[in-house]
Structure 1
Amino acid sequence: MLALLALAVAALASPVHKQQQQVLKPADDGKFTVLSHAELPGYALRSKEVGLCDTGVKQSSGYLDVDSKHFFFWFFESRSNPSTDPLILWLNGGPGCSSLTGLFMELGPCSVTTGGNSTPYNENSWNSNANIIFLDQPTNVGFSYSDSADSDVSTTADAANDVYSFLQLFLKANPKFEKSPFHVTGESYAGHYIPAIADTILTGNNDAGAPDNDSDLLVINLASIAIGNGLTDPAVQYEYYPQYACGNPYGPILEQSECDAMSGKYGTCKSIIEGCYKYQSQWTCVPGAVYCNSAMISPFQKTGLNIYDIRQKCDPNNPLCYSILGDIEAYLNQPDIQEALGVDVAYKGCNMEVNQRFMLAGDWMRPYVNLMPNILEEGVKVLIYAGDADYICNYMGNRAWTLELEWSGKDGFNAAPESEWVSEKTGKKAGMFRTFENLSYLTVYEAGHMVPYDQPEHSLEFINKWISKTW
């Protein structure tokens, strides 16, 4: 989930106060299997078996430990055939929001009831036909934490290196998945994370697979990436806020005069973002986040609508609009649940301090879209999907950047027809898609920022089609 941009922008003018996470207990290594790798000095993976949520499948949880950084993960095997089904990594965004949001609110094996007292079975979980990892990253997100502020991560590039090391150790600890097709998936700010992770994997694969390299690091079988309602190419995507505000499928959000005023500010916004794209420094990238978010996001904030789903009012009791986020925190902060997971700190769903740190580092507007052409040229399949009721990373902007992307298949992709997707399961018109070679774009109807939350049946259907190569 993407933390509210307006809150992040306001924070730029305010002093940052360190949020100390409550340490529950020192790690009891007697409960964990600990694994390291000679070529990843300082990194270690500790994991333990878990019996929560979906008790019918094998699962584990634990931490990637490196120096003073500790990244929490929770893994579920497939309900179908773990040994032959693919492996999925899921990442929520923010920056600063836990991937356990995806687990309990969207696509995981169970959800939570009001008050967080129980976890009902989710029949539309993505582990129906895939093994899936939920990873809390960067540090100080969810159950992840750091022992020192000096080690806190503030850029997507640094976060990608930690994720790569995690994958190497996870696969070493679970060798039956070493050859499994691997898919990196996520939403929102994962539109930054995922291209950087894929690029890091491909670079690592080239090094590990070189004929003259005697490395013991694995060549990770990266089959695809899938980004939902992502922030990937701000220079293109920010142009479409005015158009979406007054021309979305559900009716105007703002007066036409307000949309015209927003459109009038886009030229300045684009110019500042292009400066960030060119120089990629803190000093050239932070101004774009400040100006453009104020120009394009602030007008929406006055409406009281849910920035992630314009069909709803924002829950006034939750700064991120959804009451279920409080239920997830209540469940995960129960002592017996934390004991079962073997966690070291209290759970926080979204950490605005992490959001501020990435903003102040200038990461928000950086062009991670520039990594996409090489990912495609390397033969990795790419799916960009977006719910049509989301404002913050709306489908118009996501569709536009896929059309403007410079790669060898651009002309073919732009000439490819847009086809209506009718769900085989529900019989409903579920979306509109375009595909050419290994790039696909999908608009999902009647869904907001969290597509699996709003359309659980349709989201399971399209991810299964995607990972089985039937789409």
Structure 2
Amino acid sequence: MLKLAIWSAVIAVVALANIQHPFGTETVSGGPTWAHASKPEDLLVANVTALHLSSVTSTDNYTPLSHPRFPNHRVRIKSSDFCDPTVKVYTGYLDVDGGAKHLFFYFFESRRNPDMDDVMMWINGGPGCSSSMGLLMELGPCSIDMKNISSNGTIWNPYSWNKEANIFFLDQPVGVGFSYADYGETVETTEEAAKNVHAFITIFFETFKQFSGRPLHLSGESYGGRYLPVFASEIYDQNQLATAEGRPTLNLQSVLIGNGITDISTIYTGRYEIECGTAALDVPFQKISTCVRMKTALPRCLEVERKYCIDQFDAMNCDAAIGFCDSQLSTGYWASGRNVYDISKMCLGDSLCYLENGVIKEYLDLPSTRSLLGVETPRNFTPCSHSVSYNFHMHMDKWRSPTQYYIAGLLERGIRVLLYAGTYDWQCNWVQNKLWIEKLEWTGKEAYETAKWRDWTLDGEKVGETKTAGVLTFATVRGAGHMVPHDKPAEAQAMVSRWLLQKDL
């Protein structure tokens, strides 16, 4: 916590509300002088022991927050009138590496009881995709207006996940969405990104004491299946150090992953079943000749993948193995013109296959939107960064580390995990998730094997199937693709509501 000698300093912060301070000249207590001047923004300085979030009222100036344990990190936050007029909204940046990198975030208070409700963080996958897409296309308080019926470019979302939780949307790593670096710095592995996420949440929770001890849930989709287990493990491990040293901890309660990529060993088996079996559609769409080729190549693909990527990781040979697997087992689908995120639809627009992506980009590039959010990067908004994706691939981030072991470690330590999957997804499909969960090595493995599948419903209608053992739950969402909240918003919100209440789906 930042040290404060006397409470009069709190009053001084309020007095500073209308005084401008050049960004490059202020020193935040407990940290370095942030002397870079990427943009001459005016800031308020908050060298206080604790604040209430409601004290951040300026919509023009950022309030910077630092922490003595993270001398190279700082959070800057401001109030915003963006998206949801019924709750308090905040946007800001996490500055890392002495202010050279800047991670953008949105924070929406709960529509129900912000002073009591849990806190959730949402991230999109990629790697390299902005959480603005999840916000404006899936589960945020407002959705992008695709019919041009609103005056501000967005429409109210009654199924937002902030219905019963306070929620962050974080653009990470640097280079994603509105996050940027001053001098071309990059983050190229999940483990490196995890340290920044832990610092961000810690600074926020320890500064705004209203969140102290509040249950924390990490959620996301797609490459979130790689990100989130590592992020949650970093938080858990840092909590153990904090406890030993008598410091506050983060009350990490659960991880929620939608259509994630976690265990690479089941990817291609799952894709074959979605494309050529009846796991998604009652009648397979793919040509028989293509399915025969895929079936013939699958054993060899699995053999070389296991030899070079799993049993003993060899970067060059693993990359070659994945190249072979994709050439034999993915090219048929790519050539079909179908949406890789929803087998029931054709691909529309760009390679991301949804028309919303282009409209969201146009909306977030508007000067009025950027001003409302406090965006600093000179770059235009990009839904998914190819350079970030490339850098992660060059490090073989997805294949180098067996992420399912992080899941097992979290389960063994009592962290609840919800894995859910829309059944129409091809990219990170429900079959591959079902298969790796079934073979996951943890003390609850036998209990999970013997547990019964059951239907889960909403308003008397079947949504999908679910299975639970201890702190692990797997659920399918019938008729949804890769982005479950986009395709089944009411069902997704009901699922999250029950999860937060620790009820069976």
Structure 1 match to 2:90: 60
Structure with the bigger RCO (C-alpha within 8 Å, sep 6+) is 1
C-alpha distance in 2 between matches for 1:449 and 1:436 = 24
- Asked if 2 retains the 8 angstrom alpha-carbon contact of 1:387 and 1:394, the reply is yes
The yes-or-no answer on 1:311 pairing with 2:325 is no
The yes-or-no answer on 1:243 pairing with 2:246 is no
- Structure 1 residue corresponding to 2:251, chosen from 218, 221, 236: 221
Q: Letter of the 1:183 partner, please give it.
A: H
- Asked if 2 retains the 8 angstrom alpha-carbon contact of 1:26 and 1:344, the reply is no
C-alpha distance in 2 between matches for 1:127 and 1:416 = 32
Q: Letter of the 2:94 partner, please give it.
A: L
Unaligned runs of at least 5 residues, structure 1: 1-22
- Asked if 2 retains the 8 angstrom alpha-carbon contact of 1:35 and 1:169, the reply is yes
Tell me the alpha carbon deviations over residues 180-218 of structure 1, each in whole angstroms, 9 at most, x when there is no partner.
1111000000000011001101110111111xx25x4x3
Tell me the alpha carbon deviations over residues 238-291 of structure 1, each in whole angstroms, 9 at most, x when there is no partner.
222112111233231312332232233233333343322344464354334323
Unaligned runs of at least 5 residues, structure 2: 1-36, 45-60
- Asked if 2 retains the 8 angstrom alpha-carbon contact of 1:89 and 1:132, the reply is yes
Structure 1 match to 2:419: 384
Determine helix, strand or coil for the equivalent of 1:365. Answer: helix
Structure 2 match to 1:323: 355
Structure 1 residues 88 and 136: CA distance shift in structure 2, 3 A:
same
* CA radius of gyration, larger in: 2
Give aligned-pair identity as a percent.
39
Note the C-alpha offset of 1:179. Answer: 1.0
Structure 1 residues 253 and 27: CA distance shift in structure 2, 3 A:
farther
Structure 2 match to 1:126: 161
- Asked if 1 retains the 8 angstrom alpha-carbon contact of 2:38 and 2:182, the reply is no
Determine helix, strand or coil for the equivalent of 1:470. Answer: coil
The yes-or-no answer on 1:158 pairing with 2:192 is yes
Note the C-alpha offset of 1:148. Answer: 2.7
Determine helix, strand or coil for the equivalent of 1:95. Answer: coil
Scaled by the length of structure 1, what TM-score is found? 0.90
The yes-or-no answer on 1:73 pairing with 2:110 is no
Structure 2 match to 1:16: none
Structure 1 match to 2:52: none
In the TM superposition, 1:48-197 aligns within 5 A as: 48-67=78-97, 68-114=100-146, 118-149=153-184, 151-197=185-231
C-alpha distance in 1 between matches for 2:108 and 2:346 = 34
- Asked if 1 retains the 8 angstrom alpha-carbon contact of 2:438 and 2:445, the reply is yes
Tell me the alpha carbon deviations over residues 379-429 of structure 1, each in whole angstroms, 9 at most, x when there is no partner.
0001110000111111111111111101101011011000011213xx321
C-alpha distance in 2 between matches for 1:324 and 1:467 = 29
Q: Between Structure 1 and Structure 2, how many residues are aligned?
A: 441
C-alpha distance in 1 between matches for 2:215 and 2:389 = 32
Note the C-alpha offset of 1:297. Answer: 1.9
Scaled by the length of structure 2, what TM-score is found? 0.84
Determine helix, strand or coil for the equivalent of 2:255. Answer: strand
Misfit runs of 4+, over 6 Å? none
The yes-or-no answer on 1:266 pairing with 2:266 is no
In the TM superposition, 1:5-24 aligns within 5 A as: none
- Asked if 1 retains the 8 angstrom alpha-carbon contact of 2:270 and 2:430, the reply is no
The yes-or-no answer on 1:373 pairing with 2:387 is no
- Asked if 2 retains the 8 angstrom alpha-carbon contact of 1:285 and 1:363, the reply is no
The yes-or-no answer on 1:232 pairing with 2:267 is no
- Asked if 2 retains the 8 angstrom alpha-carbon contact of 1:288 and 1:365, the reply is no
